[in-house]
């Protein structure tokens, strides 16, 4: 990621970027050698994912760095040497990972003591793990009833599964998904401006296929410039293409999940007025120290993005189909928190998790399988959506009568990305 950002964003003069890339390439052999010395027994899924990402990193170093060298011109023996050494080290590390793959049998579950300790640091919230789980289970019942009401309004039947299946028929494919997202982004941007929901900034945003080295965990992400970056450089909204080895049935399942209406919710979350816009506002924050600007709360960042989904749907963006799809994403968010704790603390099995996601969550098999994988690869991150949304939406509801929605939302975004409990104090609510 550190090398990709320098290549893709074009920060600084080419010679400066090459020098920075060369120094980062030169650090790869020692970093990988150190990893091999300290790595203990690993979960097999973690090793499999690392192998795929190592291959993607090698492709970046092998193909993209020479392309930048050719654009700059001239000789760069230091960068060339560092690149070759990095490729050799990546190849050796890939072979090392393959050699330990079959013997990697460690359980990816953290266990309750470690998971709860990490949750405290991740959330920076007064909520306990037990309180999070109890609230999520109660909200699962509430949103299940709400999605049935909206299904009835849309189709005349309270069967949400039937209504969602009809929406899933309207979906893109590998050739059209980026274009669809581009159109949805423009619609969302226009909608935010027309409804005066929050100040829209004009920082550059590029929609792109997810780089190979970053695949394997999430379907999409927003990669914004760092909080200390002062140049005009783009934010990347990345979407993962379907892998070449997937069957046609699995590809179809993926795009039924990420149908046109789900892409509206996804684009609101990742871009407008979600991550892209929130992080653009955060870059303009000037704290008392540079450290204050750098520190970010994942709970606030994800909480704002989910709050943005609700805000847009309630204002009518995309009509009833997007409102129904947004409730499905709300169920996903709630189930994320339940599964996160269930997997790492309560011995939840794959069958139990899949049944919860495909049943109560109405998720496609491919989406649920990917989330099961993610629940084992990560810990506590899946809880940030629900807890963050719960706390950020509480702040949103505390809007003073003297403030317009835009004024209040701008105020919520004016302090960088602090944990919601600190933002409440900053705003006096």
pLDDT at 216: 55
Q: Does residue 135 have a pLDDT over 90?
A: yes
Q: Does residue 32 have a pLDDT over 70?
A: yes
State whether 50 and 126 are in the same domain: no
Q: Does residue 214 have a pLDDT over 80?
A: no
State whether 129 and 272 are in the same domain: yes
110 part of a folded domain: no
Residues 6+ apart with CB under 8 A from 31: none
163 part of a folded domain: yes
295 part of a folded domain: yes
Q: Does residue 411 have a pLDDT over 90?
A: yes
pLDDT at 14: 77
DSSP state of 214: G
State whether 81 and 145 are in the same domain: no
* Tokens found for residue 184: 């949805």
Among 101, 135, 160, the domain-final residue is: 101
pLDDT at 217: 57
Residue 76 banded pLDDT, cuts 50, 70, 90: confident
Q: What is the mean pLDDT of residues 326-345?
A: 98
For residue 128, the SS3 value is coil
pLDDT at 177: 92
State whether 390 and 273 are in the same domain: yes
Q: Does residue 73 have a pLDDT over 80?
A: no
Among 101, 135, 165, the domain-final residue is: 101
391 part of a folded domain: yes
Pairing between β-strand 205-209 and β-strand 235-239 as defined by DSSP bridges: parallel
108 part of a folded domain: no
State whether 354 and 263 are in the same domain: yes
In the chain, how many domains are there?
2
Residue 339 banded pLDDT, cuts 50, 70, 90: very high
Domain span holding position 45: 2-101
Residue 145 banded pLDDT, cuts 50, 70, 90: very high
Phi, psi of 239 (to 5 degrees): -125, 135
Its pTM stands at 0.90
State whether 67 and 188 are in the same domain: no
Sign of dihedral through CA atoms 341, 144, 271, 414? negative
Tell me the pLDDT tens digit for each residue of 250-308. 889 989 999 999 999 999 999 999 999 999 999 999 888 888 888 899 999 999 999 99
Tell me the pLDDT tens digit for each residue of 346-378. 999 999 999 999 999 999 998 999 999 999 999
For the chain, give the mean pLDDT: 93
For residue 100, the SS3 value is helix
User: pLDDT over 90 for what percent of the chain?
Assistant: 79
Whole-angstrom distance, CA of residue 39 vs CA of residue 76: 34
pLDDT at 17: 82
Residue 213 banded pLDDT, cuts 50, 70, 90: low
341 part of a folded domain: yes
Pairing between β-strand 220-223 and β-strand 205-209 as defined by DSSP bridges: unpaired
Residue 64 banded pLDDT, cuts 50, 70, 90: confident
Tell me the pLDDT tens digit for each residue of 220-250. 889 999 888 888 889 999 998 888 888 999 8
């Amino acid at each position: 990621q550190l090398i990709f950002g320098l290549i893709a964003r074009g920060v600084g003069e080419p010679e400066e970027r090459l020098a920075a890339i060369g120094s980062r390439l030169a650090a790869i052999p020692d970093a990988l050698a150190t990893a091999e010395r300290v790595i203990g027994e690993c979960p097999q899924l973690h090793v499999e994912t690392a192998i795929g990402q190592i291959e993607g990193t090698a492709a970046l170093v092998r193909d993209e760095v020479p392309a930048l060298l050719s654009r700059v011109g001239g000789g760069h023996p230091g960068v060339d040497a560092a690149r070759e050494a990095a490729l050799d080290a990546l190849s050796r590390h890939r072979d090392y990972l393959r050699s330990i793959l079959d013997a990697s049998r460690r359980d990816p579950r953290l266990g309750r003591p470690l998971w709860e300790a990490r949750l405290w640091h991740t959330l920076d919230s007064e909520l306990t793990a037990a309180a999070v789980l109890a609230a999520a289970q109660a909200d699962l019942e509430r949103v299940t009833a709400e999605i049935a009401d909206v299904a009835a309004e849309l189709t005349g039947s309270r069967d949400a599964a039937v209504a969602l299946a009809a929406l899933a028929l309207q979906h893109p494919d590998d050739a059209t998904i980026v274009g669809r997202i581009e159109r949805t982004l423009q619609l969302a941007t226009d909608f935010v401006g027309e409804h005066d929901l929050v100040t829209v900034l004009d920082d550059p945003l590029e929609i792109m296929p997810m780089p190979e080295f970053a695949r394997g965990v999430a379907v999409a992400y927003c990669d914004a410039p760092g909080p200390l970056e002062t140049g005009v450089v783009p934010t990347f909204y990345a979407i993962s293409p379907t892998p070449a080895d997937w069957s046609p049935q699995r590809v179809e399942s993926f795009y039924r999940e990420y149908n046109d209406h789900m892409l509206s919710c996804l684009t609101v979350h990742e871009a407008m007025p979600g991550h892209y816009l929130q992080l653009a506002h955060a870059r303009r924050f000037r704290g008392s120290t540079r450290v204050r600007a750098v520190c970010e709360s994942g709970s606030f960042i994800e909480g704002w993005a989910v709050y943005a989904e609700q805000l847009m749907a309630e204002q009518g963006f995309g009509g009833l189909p997007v409102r129904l799809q947004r409730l499905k994403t709300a169920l996903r968010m709630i189930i994320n928190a339940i599964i996160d704790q269930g997997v790492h603390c309560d011995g939840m099995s794959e069958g139990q998790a899949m049944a919860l996601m495909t049943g109560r969550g109405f998720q496609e098999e491919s989406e649920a399988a990917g989330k099961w994988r993610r629940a084992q690869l990560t810990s506590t991150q899946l809880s940030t959506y629900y807890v963050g949304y719960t706390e950020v939406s509480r702040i949103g509801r505390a809007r003073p009568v003297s403030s317009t929605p835009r004024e209040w939302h701008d105020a919520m975004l004016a302090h960088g990305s602090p944990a919601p409990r600190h933002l409440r104090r900053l705003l006096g609510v």
